[in-house]
Structure 1
Amino acid sequence: MTSLTPSLYRESGTRLALERTHLPISTNARDTFASLGLNTRLCANVVKVGLQKPTAVQRECIPAILRGFDVVGTSQTGSGKTAAFALPILELLGVDPYGIFCLCLTPTRELASQIADQFDAFSSGILLRSCIVIGGESLRAQASALSSRPHVVVATPGRLVEHFLYNDEIVGAFSNLHSLVLDEADRLLEPGFDAELRIIMHNLPSRRRNTHLFSATLTPSICAIQEVTQKTAFHYEAQSNPGFKDCVQEYCFVPAKVKEVYLLHLLKVLLSNGVSSIIVFTRTIYSCELLHEMLGILGLDTVLLHSMKKQRIRASNLGRFKSGEAQILIATDIASRGLDIPTVDVVINYDVPFVPREYVHRIGRAGRSGRRGRAITLVSQFEIVLLHKIEQLTGIDLGEVSGVVEGEVLKNMSAIFSARREGKMKMSQLGGFEDQLRLRKKLKR
């Protein structure tokens, strides 16, 4: 838990005391978006994007935001959290459309772009002006866009801090801010974002601002905020995690030295059985890059996603995967947060995540939009304890993958070892990739 957590809400300027469990609309009366208080135009746009009726998080949080409450919402991935804050903010924006009305902070560039797209889709015909502020894009173009005071700004903290530090006029553009949203709040409240959040909060107005936090998992930081704001904010927490029901969860025990051999075998079996969309999660950028090179050498068409890739390449790779042009995405945990790719059939955890809740975010990429998903976790002899922690968190005992015959798997061993050597040679020639990684680690210290 960061020291920022309790002060975040002390600065938020909440104006209304909460009549917590007494919101006047009964659950049965919230079966349409109109019944939640949204105007005709927004309701029509919601239908256009394919939403038929509100989800649980939307039924509870939209009326609370419309009534002026701060909101802390925790609900599983794929439950419609973006619409739960975007729709009421767009409704309120129609009353007071001047200046930057909403700032939405999110941990990754891809998620920022996705949130901005959803704001645009929900606001069709409303003449909304939105702006995306993320790394990898022109600072000058972003500064010009911010100076024109768009209605909605979606940003990653690091890039927004750059603007705040070097341009006082941009800080002034946020003087009429009405709503601050922290999406994937559990990630933003970790120590890695603490310095950036402090600078941002110091430069935002507090008197008129409402603050909304949304997350898929409860963390000590979220719990601390709930304690601090018990009487001043509306809290919504999903009673269960139905996303688990839509995803078959399994593990495959593998010796650490031949993990890539088992991965190749599973990928070939899955593809031969008609699986068309697979995400492979790794713990490190180095593993992500090496697996991409190795599988390419072995004839599999993969794309990769990690934070050291330029933004245009990240966007292009994600686009190829979403369109089905590439069937396999190799990614670090930047792909585990909020990305809406409804066609993912299987998630493979090449590495067991150190933090159990990251497992929840990863497998949330599969089994979306009513589809049945599957998650397979490769577990080495050094990761058994991590698997047990995940089972404790989820309350589910993972079953072992059936049909994996060691003799069949190890037939590919020599080809894999050869591809590993070739892949490492290629990486050493990619502009000092390993040197860039070492420099990045030093800068983080």
Structure 2
Amino acid sequence: MTAPTDIGLEQAGPNGEGSMFGLKAIDKAGAANKIAKGKMAILKESDPRKEDGGFGSEESESDDEQDRLDRELDSMYDMYQEQKSSADAKFRAKKARKEHEDGDWEGFSAEEAQSDDDDLEEDSSDESDDEGPSKQSLLTDLERNEKKAGGLSKRATQFFDQDIFKDIGGIPEEEEEEEEEEEDDEEVQADLDELMKDRVVEEEEDDEVMEDAPEESDSSDDENGFEIVKRREGEAQWEDEEPKKDGRLDIDIITAEAMTLAQQIASGQKSIHDLADESFNKYAFKDRDGLPDWFLDDESKHDRPHRPISAAGAAAIKEKLRALNARPIKKVREAKDRKKFKAAQRLEKLRKKSALLADEEGMTEKEKANSIGKLMSKAAKKKPKQNVKVVVATGGNRGIAGRPRGVKGKYKIVDARLKKDVRGLKRAAKKRK
């Protein structure tokens, strides 16, 4: 029995077994692009239950049950947070501050991880990309089609380098004209550079004589059309300045622990090395990966380092808070400031009127003094307090909401029921006496 001789003919290529191997046919068929974009075969993991013979079924069921319970706990905690945030404004503010806190800096590895994810997304593109034109070629052209300074490619340059093109007239004249134009441009540029240098020297001389003749410098600037303003050495851009308050950093001590630590550092009881040693504790490096949110939130309330508090630090914070609480309310402070401002305005008007009276020529000194005294007494006189007008809710004023008609200033609406209640309160007060 003989083996068939036509086996493997399809692997030898379209021209038969005797033909030479060629990359051009493979490149035209787009095989390289298909291989580059082909999906790798992924081996499926074997089922552990089949390997164990069914002994691992109980463990898998328990794992599934545990995952289900974890998901239920997470969903219940999310519902609890939503209900609490809708009812408590402080909880909403605390949650917002926590969300807007800066995350941990992962360094440059974060950008690398992001680029890796982008690469994975590009690799997992649809099969429709295979229909596009092939960008990868197996054939590389050794002669690069580069253009030279004249705008000609390498092949065109070799063609025009032949002897037949060297004797053509007219071309050198154009080159000479171009060379002359370039020389003229260079001369003009050199003249401009010299003028600019002379301009800078003149401005330096003008700066020295600026205090003596400022008007002349202004006229010269107007004639030339521009002015070069030098930046002073002491000036700094406002973007470069750090945000400071009264020349100091905007840092405030608001807790008794921080005040105690500041006093210990100021008195020399602790140094920077002591603080660095104290920072290495069991709270510094905690592994919180994989822990649920409800557990981490509960731990953050209790599992925290306890800083010592001294009596002097606590007293300093209390004194600071007492000074803050002693400040007047904003509305009261604004009302007092308005009164002071109006008093200052009245005093300024009085000063102007008294100056005009003092310069009056048709009045004697006694008349001037009397008129100025009247102005002073009038300015110092307080406005009379307005009496509260009582309006009885009868007739047209019955059941109205707002100011009654024809009533100006302060008012109070009363009715028969209110009058009887006031009489009853007075009788009760007499009985108590």
- Structure with the bigger RCO (C-alpha within 8 Å, sep 6+) is 1
TM-score, structure 1 length as denominator? 0.16
> Which structure: greater strand fraction?
1
Query: Which structure: larger Rg?
Result: 2
Structure that is richer in helix per residue: 2
Give the TM-score normalised by the residue count of structure 2.
0.16
